[in-house]
Structures are given as C-alpha cells and as structure tokens.
C-alpha cells in the first residue's frame, strides 16, 4: 500500500469493459488532482510525517474508488477523503498497539466530533499554510534535486509515478524508488513540517523556485522523447508556480517566476516545426505566440514590481522575455534595453552564459564589433570551453564582420561540439553559405 499510484497515473482504460467504472475512476482522478495537496498537507499536520500522510491519503483514495462509483462523489470530496484517511490512521495505531497519549487524544477528538470533524478541520486559512509547508518540505535540502522534483510533482502536484516517469523519461520504478527513498530520508532526518525560519527562508524559497523552474525547463527545452507529454510538464510547473505565487503574494521572485514561465510558454506553439525541428527565435511566426499568455506574464511582472523590492534574477529574466514577447519582430526588439537587463542580471547572478547572451544582445543593438570584445573575453577566461554556443556566436559575429575564414573555423568547432543534430545541421548550412575559402597560395 505504500506506493499506490494516484488514479491519474493510469492510462485511460480504453478497453475497460465497464464505462461507468471508468467514468467514476476519472472523476476520482479529477478530485484527487484538485484536493490531494490539501489532503496530504492536512494529514501531515495530523500525523506529523509527510510519508505516512501520503500513504494514508492514497489508501483513502483506493477507498473512494471502491465507494464512489456506487454511491456517487460526495458533496465535499476533499473532506471525505481526509476523514477516511484519519480513521485509517487511528485504526493503524490501534492495530499496532501504539496508542500512546497523543494518539489517544487525537482519536478521542475525532470520535467526539464525529461527522463534523472534517469540516472543523477544513479551515481554508490553515490549509493554505499547510500547503506552503508541504512545498517547503518537498523541496527540503536533505533531498537530492531529483528527489525534490519527484516529491513536489507527486505530493504537491498530485501526479502519479507513471506520469512523472513519462515526463522525465525514466522508468516508473526509478521514480517510485526516488519517492520512497525521499520519504524515508525526510522521516530519518526528522524534517519538521514548517515554513523555514527567517534566517534560512530566502535560501529555501530560492530552492523551491528553482525546482519549479527545472520542472518547467524539462518540458520546454527540446530533448529526445515524446513531444506531446512535455508541454504538459511545463503546464504543470506553471500551475504549481501560480500556486506558490498565490500562497506567497508578497514574494516578488515567486511572481516573477510565473511571469518568466508565462512569457516563455507563450512561444510553445511557434518554436517547433511540425516535424519537431526547433525554430530559432528570429524565424518564429510571432502571430502564433499566445497573446493571452503574454498578457498574464505582464500582469505577473507588474505584481512583482508593485511589491517594491526591486527585481531579482527571475524578475530580470522575465523582463528580458517580456522585451521579446512584445516586439513585433527581431529588428523591432528593444535590444538596448535587453543589454541593460543582461548587465543587471550579470551583476546579480554572474555567469558566463549570461555574458554570452548579453554579447548577442549587444550585437543586435550596437553591432558585432563591440559584441566580439565581450565574446573574446569569455574565450580568454576559458570558463565556457567546450560550450558549443560560444564558437557559434563568435563565428556568427566574425561572419558579420567579414572575417570569413575565422568564422568558418569557429562555426566548424561549434558544429563539432554540439550534441544536437538539428543545431549541427543549421551550423553546417551556415558554413556552406559562407564565401568559398581563398585558394591556397602556392
């Protein structure tokens, strides 16, 4: 029972002999997706352990699958599931004859309150706090990044192991192992069910946002595998980020991350051709960008700014993404502003990749010569050695400066370094389009 999957993890039962049962199963899955975080959060406060809380919630879910098809979905399905799970918890303690004082008190309470117990337990303000605690526990630093991601999707997002496995292109058993191990790690480390203390709050919030952004990028960046599943991964990351932003309305970086994801996701439809070939930004059909989504990104960024604590790394990246999102074309993009934003980002979160991006923006804004100076510095300090985009950008700048033979050699290096076949093809095409090399002097 410890790793029963959410019903959403099961493929729609196309060959199911009983359509009524199938319908009930789908209804249960829908309720689970909406309620599971609240249920697990509430139960965690009740039993004091996330792993056990999740197991109990899953058991209640199995019970729902048994009862709801016949009796219909109850009026307050979340409260129903919570009540069943709590009764299970008490039964379990009794069975194991570990009915110590605390448990006895809890059991008495529950029995006294009877049917209304679930309602009194269902205080929306407390639940919001509980979900926030749950998010911080799922992203706790005692866990590996993989475990944080799996646990967040499972416990906060309500996804099944199979869905998570499909999203991350790993076997289901691996995901199940990660989740089981993560729960054990949390229990062994006696991780408290709480939002971190003020002195570690910022670091932990950054970690939560980073986990969500990693999940988002897993869906966004082109990689091998089933392309249809992956926009769903980004959509789930976006939903969870909106959730975090909703729970933490005073955190500008949480709002900014939502903005960044909205802007980025608005290009989903335009960034791959029908055959899956990636389409670079300057060739994307901007009429296919999702205007409503861009509008939501702007609203989220405005909320972040309204808090008045300045822009963090996500805020700056969101602002850059906004410049692209509102520009009618590559030429009409406010490249000068993007350069400034990259400069600010480079001061806040120094990274050679940020410098390379800034160089590209500089090339668009003031020309290839000044951009080349930035790129040459990056080459000199060697921190991006072996990183294909560096020679690709340098080659392009040299080509624009008419230094054809140097450009050729850089583009060839880039083509050799890139692991992406599409990228290699486009680099080779660019090389072929260069003026032929001068005949060797004899």
Partner 1 sequence: MKYMLIMRSNDQAVEDYENLDFTEVIAAMGAYNESLIKAGVLLGGEGLSDAKEGFVVDFDSTPPVITDGPYGETKELFNGFWIIQASSPEEAAEWAKRCPLGPGSKLEVRRVNELEDFPQDNEWIQKEAGWRAEAEGRLSAANPAE
Specify the residue, 47 or 359, whose C-beta has the smaller distance to partner 1. Answer: 359
Tell me the closest approach of the beta carbon of residue 169 to partner 1, in angstroms.
20
Q: How far is CA 402 from the centre of its chain?
A: 42
What whole-number distance in Å separates Cα of residue 149 and Cα of residue 166?
A: 14
DSSP label at 298?
H
Tell me the closest approach of the beta carbon of residue 415 to partner 1, in angstroms.
13
Backbone angles phi, psi at 308, to 5 degrees: 80, 30
Which of 133, 296, 311, 408 touches partner 1 (CB under 8 A)? 296
Which of 66, 94, 108, 288 touches partner 1 (CB under 8 A)? 288
Does position 27 interact with partner 1 (CB under 8 A)? The reply is yes
Residues in contact with 166: Cβ distance below 8 Å, sequence separation at least 6, in sequence order = 226, 229
Does position 378 interact with partner 1 (CB under 8 A)? The reply is no
What whole-number distance in Å separates Cα of residue 311 and Cα of residue 300?
A: 13
The piece of 42-50, 57-65, 198-206, 280-288 that touches partner 1 (CB under 8 A) is 280-288
Does position 81 interact with partner 1 (CB under 8 A)? The reply is no
7 close to 65: Cβ distance less than 8 angstroms: yes
Residue 278, beta-bridge partner list: 272
What whole-number distance in Å separates Cα of residue 57 and Cα of residue 65?
A: 12
What whole-number distance in Å separates Cα of residue 365 and Cα of residue 361?
A: 6
Torsion of CA 242, 248, 252, 258, to 10 degrees: -10
Site string for partner 1, 93-132 (x = CB under 8 A): -------------------------------x---x--x-
Which of 72, 141, 192, 280 touches partner 1 (CB under 8 A)? 280
Write out the two tokens for 55: 């197991």
Tell me the closest approach of the beta carbon of residue 238 to partner 1, in angstroms.
7
What's the CA angle centered on 10, arms 6 and 12, to 5 degrees?
130
What whole-number distance in Å separates Cα of residue 137 and Cα of residue 182?
A: 11
Does position 337 interact with partner 1 (CB under 8 A)? The reply is no
Does position 426 interact with partner 1 (CB under 8 A)? The reply is yes
Site string for partner 1, 404-423 (x = CB under 8 A): --------------------
Positions in the binding site for partner 1 (CB under 8 A): 8, 26-27, 29-31, 33-34, 124, 128, 131, 232, 235-236, 238-243, 246-247, 269, 271, 274, 278, 280-288, 292, 296, 324, 329-331, 353, 356-357, 360, 363-364, 389, 392-393, 396, 400, 426, 430
């Amino acid at each position: 029972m410890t790793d029963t999957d959410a019903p959403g993890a099961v493929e729609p039962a196309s060959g199911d002999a009983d359509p009524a049962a199938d319908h009930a199963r789908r209804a249960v899955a829908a309720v689970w997706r909406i309620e599971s975080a609240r249920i697990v959060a509430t139960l965690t406060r009740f039993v004091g352990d996330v792993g056990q809380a999740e197991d109990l919630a899953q058991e209640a879910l199995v019970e729902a699958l048994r009862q709801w098809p016949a009796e219909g979905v109850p009026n307050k399905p979340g409260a129903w599931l919570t009540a069943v799970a709590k009764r299970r918890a008490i039964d379990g303690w009794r069975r194991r004859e570990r009915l110590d004082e605390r448990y006895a008190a809890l059991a008495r309470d529950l029995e006294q309150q009877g049917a209304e117990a679930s309602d009194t337990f269902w205080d929306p303000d407390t639940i919001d706090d509980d979900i926030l605690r749950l998010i911080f526990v799922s992203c706790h630093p005692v866990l590996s990044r993989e475990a944080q991601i799996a646990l967040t999707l499972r416990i906060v997002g309500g996804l099944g192991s199979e869905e998570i496995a499909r999203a991350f292109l790993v076997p289901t058993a691996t995901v199940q192992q990660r989740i089981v191990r993560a729960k054990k790690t949390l229990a062994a480390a006696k991780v408290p069910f709480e939002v971190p203390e003020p002195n570690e709050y910022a670091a932990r919030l950054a970690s939560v946002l980073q986990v969500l952004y990693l999940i988002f990028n897993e869906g966004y960046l082109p990689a091998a595998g089933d392309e249809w599943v992956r926009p769903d991964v980004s959509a789930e990351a976006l939903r969870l980020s909106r959730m975090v932003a909703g729970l933490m309305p005073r955190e500008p970086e949480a709002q900014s991350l939502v903005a960044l994801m909205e802007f980025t996701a608005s290009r989903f439809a335009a960034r791959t051709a029908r055959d899956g070939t990636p389409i670079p930004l300057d060739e994307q059909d901007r009429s296919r960008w999702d205007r409503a989504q861009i509008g939501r990104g702007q609203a989220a960024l405005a909320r972040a700014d309204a808090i008045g604590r300045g822009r963090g790394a996500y805020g700056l990246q969101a602002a850059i993404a906004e410049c692209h999102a509102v520009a009618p074309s590559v030429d009409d993009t406010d490249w000068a502003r993007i350069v400034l934003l990259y400069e600010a980002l480079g001061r806040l979160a120094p990274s050679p990749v940020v410098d390379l991006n800034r160089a590209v923006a500089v090339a668009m804004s003031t020309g290839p010569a000044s951009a080349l100076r930035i790129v040459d510095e990056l080459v000199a300090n060697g921190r991006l050695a072996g990183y294909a985009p560096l020679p690709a950008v340098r080659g392009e700048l040299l080509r624009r400066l008419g230094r054809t033979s140097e450009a050729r050699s850089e583009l060839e290096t880039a083509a050799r370094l890139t692991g992406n076949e599409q990228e290699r093809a486009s680099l080779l095409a660019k090389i072929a389009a260069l003026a032929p090399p001068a005949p060797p002097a004899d």
